[in-house]
Amino acid sequence: MTRPTLATIDLAALRHNYSLAQHLAPESQAMAVIKANAYGHGIVEVANALAGQASGFAVAFLEEALILREAGITQPILLLEGCFSEQELQLASKNDCAVVVANEQQFKDLLNCKLAKPLSLWFKLDTGMHRLGVSAECVEPWFQALVACDNVADEVVLMSHFACADEPKHPKNTQQLVNFQQTFAGLKPIAKAHHKRLSKSLSNSAAIFALPDSHGDWNRPGYMLYGGVPLVQPDEQTVALKPVMTLRSSIIGLRDLAIGETVGYGAHWQATKPTSLATVAIGYADGYPRVIKPGTPVLIAGQRLPIVGNVSMDMITVDVSDLPSIKLGDEVVLWGQGLPLDEVAAYANTIGYELTARMPARVPRHYID
């Protein structure tokens, strides 16, 4: 393929960001979260790049884990959404995957199935996010039953997830943390009575940066590994993050518009002054969001220039009047090096997670070290 549209994935930056997660929480192990094709960066390439460093990997569900096992990844793998049937539990056990138990079906399946090999259990509490996790009244009876069950291996992890860790001062964070610590204190003797070791896992990327009291035996960094800033307010620590994906394309059209002329579908944008326009080979079918605001910057020759007109399936148009030296084939950066993903995402009213996770296979990933 020679269309110039390309996502460059900097694996050295990825490893740097993983090291930063370890450095910020030196007492914890970091399970690299690589669900959803490693947030669009390529699950196998990312896992291989981190294989020498990472204590384990977390994915959303079994199919994602099997891709990793097939690629020869031998580290512990955690299924964050757990299993959806007894048959999946069997496969998880065969493939050495740890499973989350977060609902009644998962609880019953794990209790009732007959596994050849016990599974590592991550028992997920709902401490206040109210999305996934065992509710308070079921915690003790379910935990009692599971630690007494032969299907459960000796290491059990108590986990939960923050709703508002990206806003470190949000009162919900303390409420969730207190709830978690109290539940842990209550469950620990039960685990011990069954000769199980109970450990903790609570922190996502934002909590690794901003909620050190939440650091557990296992942290779960995702977004920060890819260089995204996981806090609403970046701070002096987040500047150490390095962007991993840089999305680039190039100029495939140049023209001058007179006052009153329009560009693109719907003719929504109209020149109010004589304008030089560049057409760039990237569109919403490449994961560049159609809803993005006019005026969103792209980077050409180190200069920020605004998008004008609607985003098309394969193309966008940019006002390059301020860059008279521009020519066909010049490189354009859409996000990444020099143009933070988080900033571009804000122009599309979303978060960087969504932009990279939704990037389709159509955009080739090019890996550099």
Question: Is residue 117 exposed (0-12), middle (13-18) or buried (19+ Cβ within 10 Å)?
Answer: exposed
> Least CB distance from residue 325 to ligand PLP, whole Å?
40
Instruction: Return left, alpha or beta for 285; rule: phi > 0 is left, psi -120 to 50 is alpha, else beta.
Output: alpha
What is the token pair recorded at 219?
A: 């942290």
- Residue in 35, 124, 196, 200 annotated catalytic: 35
Element (H, E) at 25: none
196 is catalytic: no
Residue whose CB is less far from ligand PLP, 269 or 353: 353
Binding site for ligand PLP (CB under 6 A): 33, 35, 80, 161, 204-206, 220-223, 230
E-strand spans in 135-270?
Answer: 152-159, 197-201, 218-219, 245-257, 262-263, 269-270
Q: How far is CA 259 from CA 55, 209, 279, 363, in A?
A: 60, 50, 18, 35
Min dist CB 84 to ligand PLP, Å, is 16
CB atoms within 10 A of CB 213: 12
| CA angle centred on 78, ends 76 and 79, rounded to 5° | 150
Has 284 been annotated as catalytic?
no
> Please, are residues 311 and 288 in contact by the beta-carbon 8 Å criterion?
yes
Shortest CA distance to 51 belongs to which of 79, 28, 20, 18?
Answer: 18
Rounded to a whole number of angstroms, the minimum distance from the CB of residue 225 to ligand PLP is: 8
Question: 43-50 and 11-24 helices cross at what angle (nearest 10)?
Answer: 60
CA-based nearest residue to 96, from 68, 115, 77:
77
287 vs 309, beta carbon nearer ligand PLP: 287
Q: Which of 117, 192, 265, 293 is catalytic?
A: 265
Element (H, E) at 31: strand 29-33
Q: At closest approach, how far in Å is the CB of 156 from ligand PLP?
A: 17
Please say whether the dihedral angle defined by the alpha carbons of residues 249, 253, 256 and 258, taken in this order, is positive or negative: negative
Q: Least distance in Å: CB of 320 to ligand PLP? A: 35
Query: Cβ 129 to ligand PLP, closest distance in Å?
Result: 9
Q: What's the CA gap between 52 and 49, in Å, rounded?
A: 7
* Between 123 and 269, CB nearer to ligand PLP: 123
Closest CA to 176 of 188, 163, 167: 163
Q: Which is nearer to ligand PLP, 80 or 344 (CB)?
A: 80
The residue with its CB nearest to ligand PLP is 222
- From the list 141, 84, 92, 94, the residue with the least C-alpha distance to 121 is 92
Element containing residue 121 per DSSP (H, E):
strand 119-124
Least Cβ distance, residue 157 to ligand PLP (angstroms): 12
Given the complex with ligand PLP, which of 35 and 248 has the nearer CB atom? 35
Minimal distance, residue 161 CB to ligand PLP, in Å: 4
Name which of 226 and 269 has its Cβ closer to ligand PLP.
226
Q: 184 vs 284, which CB is nearer to ligand PLP? A: 184
The residue among 228 and 283 lying less far from ligand PLP, judged by its C-beta, is 228
Q: Which residues are catalytic?
A: 35, 265
